[in-house]
Structure 1
Amino acid sequence: MVQELGWFDVVDVATAGEARCAAARAGERCGLDDVRVRELASAVAELGNNLHEHAGGGRIAVRALHRSGLRGIEIVAVDTGPGMPGFPGCSRAECSAEQLRGGLGAAVRLASRHDGYSLPGRGTVVTIQFWPRGVYPAAFVATGLTRPMLGEQISGDRFGMVLRDDGPILLVADGLGHGPLAEEASRSAAEAFYSATTDSPAELVEAIHHTIAHTRGAAVAIARLEPSVGVVRFAGLGNIAAAVVGTPDGAGARRTGMVSQPGVAGHQRGTVHESCYPLGPGDLVILHSDGVVDRWDLAAYPGLAHHDPLVVAATLLRDAGVRRDDACVLVARSY
């Protein structure tokens, strides 16, 4: 489970300090010991300093993680600076502390897990996780990232995921409009998603539709990955974009769009239909709200598809997200 705690604009030492303090408070709340909290604060300070000193500013997201009874903190640092020449871009395993610029190297050495991607002229994304000392969980096969529109503190977009041994079930919900009422609609959709007893995307959309009738409504989409049989099952209402994307090669990335039906969950819909799409090993399933322009192409980012889903989501959110709307990207990798 991921709880998003907020975004922080970093343009100078003072704003970098705000992100550091927010991360330290989050670490304390999730039960990290004093030494680990200080290490977390130090790592975020290094990321913030790197943003304003080398990238001309950027943004930091602070997130709380809950997994298998453990709690941790995740940090996402994003910029649109010049990029980092020589930054590892093709393999997550190559993104080592020794290869990173001073402050970044110090940050990832302290982290339980890290990943990053940089493209000259486009900017850099770095993610770090802090868990209790000695805990090194595997990467999430699916995760997402949201941000509110410019001027808002909360987002009406939300993602959800149930990670099962036979494949994850994914949700993206976009509450109509912006602000608290949109957030209420998407939160209610997520609550219905997590409390449902079915794994059928069509039945989940139906359950959400009936549950959130008291709200202003939402666009919703559900994807159920079934790697063992090579398919993804999908159902959606409203303007949520979804696609299966193959690993890019010299000919580009194979991209198969998944089709939602017109309607608004909670208010108007026809019969909800479920469709199946081919899913190969290593394919990415990407869902996003209409706060993200649908013209992105992973082939324009060499090596990105091999990185953690969060790095893919953060890169697409940075480059394809529009600031006049809430935005959400959810990425899952087949296996």
Structure 2
Amino acid sequence: MDPLTVADWTVSPAADESRWFVVEEASAAAGVRRGITVFAERLGFAGERLGQVQLAATEAATNLAKHAVRGEMLVRVVRNGSTAALEIACVDHGPGIADVSRSRLGGYSTTGTLGLGLGSIERLADRSGLHSLPGVGTTLYARFRQPADGPPAAPAPADPPFAGVTRPIAGETECGDAYAALATRDGAVYAMLCDGLGHGPLAARAAQEAVDVMRETALPARPAEILERIHRRLRPTRGGAVAVALIVPERRRVRYAGVGNISGWIVHPDRRTGMISVPGIAGSHARVREQVYDLPPGAAVVLHSDGLTDRWDPAARPGLFDREPLLIAATLLRDAGSRHDDRSVLAVTSPGRG
């Protein structure tokens, strides 16, 4: 693998570039519109394109308020190396959409569905996706690429095969969980998730140190080597639970090293295989071990903190693990993120799905 630089990494957004909204009343749409405008203007959106972003966010929030149960919306800036994008992700707990294809038609709306506005959101966004199960809920995302300065010099790069979602515990603005991921030129993916001990700024500092180690490490490197560096770097901090994975679809394998209560899974459409994290705390006491696992074609790799329960079942979410990684991460955060804690999910997909 060719050497890669700091600029190639995707990391969890900073606290001032990510915001969750509860959307249960019609008035919440105005707050969402104001929030996304701040982020959009920061990325250089203006004029007609800014208006399109505002319209899509308003439509999404209005849908949640009108039709959904316990609707929530994430608005954030995602920086993939030297590029950036604005993203919205909507989740709810029902009623779900029985006919997803029909719901995307312009003007279609039926009481009890989220049909209204879905078609327009998809047309306005550079990329979007939807997963819905009747009686369970819907997850929707839309991505808007940062406007280019002048005419584009080359086609927009493909979306990376990974996405993460974080959410701070109620009452905190900084999340003590953080992730970093990178796709190499030969299709391998490095993925790291850190859960800093406790909550708030001190936990966030520990997690950020782990992210910084990932960005500073000369690649290629084995997960155990990277985790050892993180362990040493976290000694002046609270420490945390950390997992590092190297996913190599070409060789159909995953190298994994974890310390503490980060959960690592290789996920098939109807089942999952757990990866072993050893007891300990990175930065305090840890005996790092690396394991190698088979990666079947099309399988996804999921890392999540203990803000999510382990009791989730891929078979109960048909079609989800054939979808985009942001849909996977956001849906799992909604369904399994029931604990009063910082929460994070990092999902990595591989070729051969669907």
Pairwise same-fold verdict (TM > 0.5)? yes
Q: Determine the structure 1 residue equivalent to 2:216.
A: 195
Counterparts of 1:281 and 1:165 in 2: how far apart (Å)?
Answer: 19
Aligned to 1:286: 302
Residue type at the aligned position of 1:129: R
Please give the alpha-carbon distance, in whole angstroms, between the structure 2 residues aligned to 1:66 and 1:145.
13
Q: How big is each residue's C-alpha offset from its partner over 1:229-270, in whole Å with a ceiling of 9 and x where there is no partner?
A: 111000011000001112x2xxx32x2110011111111112
Q: RMSD in angstroms over aligned alpha carbons?
A: 1.9
Decide which of 153, 171, 175 is 2:196's aligned counterpart: 175
Q: Tell me which amino acid in the other structure corresponds to 2:273.
A: T
Query: Contact conserved, 1:24 with 1:38, CA < 8 A, in 2?
Result: no
For residue 207 of structure 1, give the secondary structure of its aligned residue in structure 2. helix
1:124 maps to which of 120, 128, 138: 138
- Residue 72 (str. 1) matches residue 64 (str. 2): no
User: What is the alpha-carbon distance in structure 2 between the residues aligned to residue 67 and residue 286 of structure 1?
Assistant: 19
Length, aligned pairs only: 324
Which of 8-17 and 156-165 deviates more?
8-17
Counterpart in 1 of 2:262? 240
CA distance 1:182–1:310, change in 2 (3 Å): same
Greater mean deviation of Cα atoms: 64-73 or 261-270: 64-73
1:111 aligns with 2:125: yes
In the alignment, which residue of structure 2 is the partner of 1:102? 116
CA 1:224–1:130: 2 relative to 1, 3 Å: same
Match of 1:47 in 2: 60
Distance, in Å, in 1 between the alignment partners of 2:24 and 2:157 is: 32
Q: CA deviation at 1:153?
A: 2.0
Letter in 1 for 2:285: Q
1: CA distance between counterparts of 2:133 and 2:228?
42
CA distance in 1 between partners of 2:309 and 2:201 (Å):
23
C-alpha separation in 2, matches of 1:195 and 1:323: 33
Q: Does the CA-based 8 Å contact 1:95-1:115 persist in structure 2? A: no
The aligned residue for residue 47 of structure 2 is: 34
Residue 69 (structure 1) shift = 3.4
C-alpha distance in structure 2 between counterparts of 1:42 and 1:230, whole Å: 42
1:276 pairs, out of 282, 292, 314, with 292
Query: Among the aligned pairs, what percent are the same residue?
Result: 41
Does structure 1 residue 143 correspond to structure 2 residue 180? no
- Does the Cα contact within 8 Å between 2:308 and 2:339 map onto a contact in 1? no
State the shift of 1:323 in Å.
4.3
Equivalent in the alignment of 1:260: 277
Aligned partners of 1:149 and 1:323 also within 8 Å: no
* CA apart distance, 1:318: 0.2
Unaligned runs of 5+ in 1: 89-93
For residues 76 and 268 of structure 1, the distance between their equivalents in structure 2, rounded to whole angstroms, comes to 37
Per-residue Cα deviation, 1:200-252 (whole angstroms, up to 9, x for no partner): 10011000011121110010000001111111000011000001112x2xxx3
Dislocated runs of 4+, deviation >4 Å: 94-100, 133-137
Query: TM-score when scaled to structure 1?
Result: 0.92
Give the counterpart letter for 1:85 in structure 2: A
What TM-score does the superposition give when structure 2 sets the normalisation length?
Answer: 0.87
Deviations 1:269-296 (A, max 9, x none): 12x1111000122110011000111111
Shift of 1:95: 8.5
Task: Determine whether 1:215 maps to 2:231.
Answer: no
Whole-angstrom distance in 2 between the partners of 1:69 and 1:265: 30
Q: Could you tell me how far apart the structure 2 residues matched to 1:14 and 1:187 are? A: 35
| C-alpha separation in 1, matches of 2:67 and 2:75 | 21
Q: Which amino acid aligns with 2:158?
A: A
Q: CA deviation at 1:136?
A: 5.3
Aligned residues of 1:304 and 1:312 also touching (Cα < 8 A): yes
Task: Give the superposition deviation at 1:96.
Answer: 4.9
Cα shift readout 1:91-130 (whole Å, capped 9, x = no counterpart): xxx9855577122222121101000111111111000001
Counterpart residue number, 1:231: 253
